[in-house]
Amino acid sequence: MKIIKRNKAEVEFDQSKITAAVTKANSAAKENERMTPVQIERISDSVTKQCEKIGRALSVEEIQDLVEKQIMAHGAYEVAKLYITYRYTRTLVRKANTTDDTILSLIDCNNEEVKQENSNKNPAVNSVQRDYMAGEVSKDLTCRLLLPQDIVEAHKEGIIHFHDSDYYAQRMHNCDLVNLEDMLQNGTVISGTMIEKPKSFSTACNIATQIIAQVASNQYGGQSISLTHLAPFVQVSREKITRYVKEEMKAIGVELSEDKLGEVVESRLKEEITRGVQTIQYQVITLLTTNGQAPFITVFMYLNETSDPQLKHDLAMIIEEMLKQRIQGVKNESGVYVTPAFPKLIYVLEEDNIEPDRPYYYLTELAARCTAKRMVPDYISEKVMLSLKIDKNGNGNCYTAMGCRSFLTPYVDEQGKPKYYGRFNQGVVTLNLVDVACTARQSHKADKTAAFWEIMDERLELCHRALRCRHERLKGTLSDAAPILWQHGALARLEKGETINKLLYNGYSTISLGFAGLWECVYAITGKKLTEDEGRLFGLKVMQRLNDACAKWKAEEHIDYSIYGTPLESTTYKFAKNLQRRFGIIEGVTDKNYITNSYHVHVTENIDAFSKLELESEFQKLSPGGAISYVEVPDMQSNIPAVLSVIRFIYDHIMYAELNTKSDYCQVCGFDGEIRIEKVDGKLIWKCPNCGNTDQNKLNVARRTCGYIGTQFWNQGRTQEIRDRVLHL
């Protein structure tokens, strides 16, 4: 069994330390107030058993809380007081060097919390350590100087989560849709160098990857680009190749018919498209940004984004190549093709590709094969999205997420045209709905539902103030802080020295009220699941309350607040631990080391894929600032018709969804199948079922973490959640 020390290092549990600590406090008490050695051992044994029962590595503070309760249970109040006093004194001493200890544990790769914080960062790499070290300093400044203390305490207690506090001090924003069209067509500047309009498709792809890297280094969330913005350069290359071929043929004295010339040109053009797409694929996964990871980039594939027949044809060629290369995968250190985490792909289902008799159905079949093999693309239903994303002109809109699930709200510019590219999200604060429900259960009010709504309103106002802190922190930011974003077209074309203030109001950018744990929240108050009518209706009321609050704030402040289904990664574990500490173990509510993401059906619930998607579509409508649903499926590579049936269901019923499968490889024995999770000495580990290899450095494991694919393993809470997932198909 392991414990987490105060500097976040993980060490072996040592029961004798409990005995020694209680013995010291006992010795300091008056003789008639002391416990016997037998009582002390009983306390030590009882705490150990409780730690084992919880089934995860507890922090030192959590263990000390258990010790306090056991001393009190034995009636040794004087000893308990001395033990509490000793803890408080030691806390004051430690306050001066907590940040120093944490940073040192990062350098030594012994900080378990940070090592498992991001499933796409390798904490042993210098650039990642540098980012984490800077993050610890930023978090320290944020908590001590920049945020109100009640918000800091609420964050520490897991009542809310103030996302990305490690970037807060720098006035950085969350995620965005890069205006690649503007940057490629009108030129941009990268690191002080003028980049003009590219003269070929492959050059456009190369410039796009440089833009992606620069953008990723100047914000902390996900970003998205559209292949539609690259498609015009296919024609540029076509014309260029045509000139070259004519010159070559003339030089050797050969005349080609128009048909033959066209064949040669298209053949060479396809080769260039292959090279260009390969540039995006390989540069994205081999680039390291200033935060020590590959850019969190989403590539949008939407045929109906253009109405020009030739441009649509060229776009289809790019999409086809993107899918084919993703099916192949990328080679790992051993030269074996594995599943990369990025770029994330989003494929739009529409009239021209959803039926077998439609012209681009072949792309949907290819997408289905890619999903079965590599877990991407994810799917947006144009039909459903057009019905949900209505702008002020009354028109429906279809557009990409920013990163994994964050969606902008509909926006119309001064010319009355919808605008999405060049917009961004200011940041996220997430409300722990489970904590609201558990607090209501503990209240003295007889009507727990009434208590829930009262506490909900108090917590919403807390979140509102925290979100305003994010907004105010960005106000006054000069365009000079990130020229690629604010001056050279990624998000705007502001002047040097100009602030970004005008982009923070009136819907140009959004700011997100996140939520987590709707499943457990509903069960805690109603005793019913979201899959039952009473639970579903209460869950919808909760979601509506969140939307009503955002609408009120937006009307009063002209800031575009929006509800966001938070993709908890490491925070799911943090929330669970805080809930257990604050409320104990409540069956069906706090009895797991994770809580459920956003509005999702619990991972252990037996429900078929179609019922799950249909149910979650109701909640997705009420999460306009970000949401994605998924179904868990077995290996589907030999059953593509089943994948296509799920895809068709998505098109008819839900705006945004994905299929989760497995894509693993053992470097020791070459096993190409599902790497399993087992519990060893109280800790969940990954193990090859063929050879028993448990060395994470020699295992390639890819799992959908929370809307995107993770490949660097996860903390114990998220690992338990992955282990508990049941199949929906």
- The set of catalytic residues is 174-175, 402, 404, 406, 425, 564, 569, 707
Burial label, 136 (beta-carbon count in 10 A; 0-12, 13-18, 19+): buried
Tokens standing for 510? 């959004």
- CA distances 29 to 26, 33, 43, 66, 625, Å, are 5, 6, 17, 20, 57
Query: Which residues, other chains included, contact 347 with Cβ-Cβ below 8 Å and sequence gap of 6+?
Result: 301, 319, 363, 364, 367, 377, 378, 379, 380
Interatomic CA distance for residues 485 and 538, integer angstroms: 42
Specify the residue for token string 């594995």: 338
Residue type, 396: G
Q: Are 408 and 399 in contact (CB under 8 A)?
A: yes
Interatomic CA distance for residues 384 and 5, integer angstroms: 49
Strand-pair partners of 226: 300
Specify the residue for token string 């208590």: 451
The secondary structure of the chain in percent helix, strand, coil, rounded to multiples of 5, reads 50, 15, 35
Interatomic CA distance for residues 724 and 718, integer angstroms: 10
Residues 374, 345, 608, 637: what is their CA dihedral angle, to the nearest 10 degrees? -30
What Rg, from alpha-carbon coordinates, does the chain have?
27
Q: Are 433 and 440 in contact (CB under 8 A)?
A: no
Using DSSP's 3-state secondary structure scheme, residue 295 falls into coil
Interatomic CA distance for residues 496 and 57, integer angstroms: 51
Q: How many residues does the chain have?
A: 729
List, in sequence order, every beta strand (DSSP E) within 566-615: none
